[in-house]
Amino acid sequence: MSPTGHLAIGFAVKKWDAKVPLVWYLAGATVIDLIYMGLSFLGLEGFGNNPWSHSLLMAFVWSALATTIVWLVTKHVKSAWLMGFVVFSHWILDFIVWDNLPLAFAKNPVLGLGFYNFIGFDLNALTLNFASILATGLELTLLVVGIVVYFSARKQAHSNQNSPVSGSYHTSKGTQS
């Protein structure tokens, strides 16, 4: 899955946590791809050879690391667990759409349900066809759903803040003429 789809999880999860800025969760959702891009840039990983970024083993490691970092910075257990979940959600989504995720550092076995292969979407031969439109549409839909969840939660939090006694306004105003 491209970062587009992964960002949806970052947006949606923010609903459950007011402590950590949204951008942290967006970074968490895409960090495995960011690591992949960095390593590819250095020539250490490439398509079909990405054990450091995308193996199941390293996905656990990155998630644990993210959980630890967020806990150390915020001392907020819920945020830490949520961040761990967000980072690991990347692997789960990739597991659904790809079929070549390494278990660890050996070439085999590779894991994945291969939904994109099933519909005939080939990342190596990007052309405008039904499969690429379907895959892109799917990821954009996911992103929109994530953003809608995010904004609906924000709206709710906002109205919760305003609905009970709006006392501060009146007291600060003092007597009204």
Least Å distance between CB 61 and Zn ion?
15
- Report the residue number, 71 or 111, with the smaller CB distance to Zn ion: 111
Instruction: Tell me which stretch binds Zn ion (CB under 5 A): 71-79, 94-102, 135-143, 148-156.
Output: 94-102
- Report the residue number, 33 or 139, with the smaller CB distance to Zn ion: 33
| Cα–Cα dist 100/55, whole Å | 9
- Report the residue number, 27 or 153, with the smaller CB distance to Zn ion: 27
Is 94 one of the binding residues for Zn ion (CB under 5 A)? yes
| Cα–Cα dist 120/54, whole Å | 22
Least Å distance between CB 6 and Zn ion?
7
Least Å distance between CB 46 and Zn ion?
13
Nearest to 22 by CA among 138, 161, 146, 162: 146
End-to-end CA distance of the chain: 61
Least Å distance between CB 146 and Zn ion?
16
Least Å distance between CB 62 and Zn ion?
11
From the list 33, 79, 102, 135, which residue makes contact with Zn ion (rule: CB under 5 A)?
A: 33
The count of C-alpha atoms lying within 13 angstroms of the C-alpha of 132, restricted to the half-sphere facing its C-beta, is: 8
Instruction: Tell me which stretch binds Zn ion (CB under 5 A): 13-21, 28-36, 38-46, 70-78.
Output: 28-36
Confirm if 32 and 9 have CB atoms less than 8 A apart.
Answer: no
Residues at the contact surface with Zn ion, assessed by CB under 5 A: 33, 94
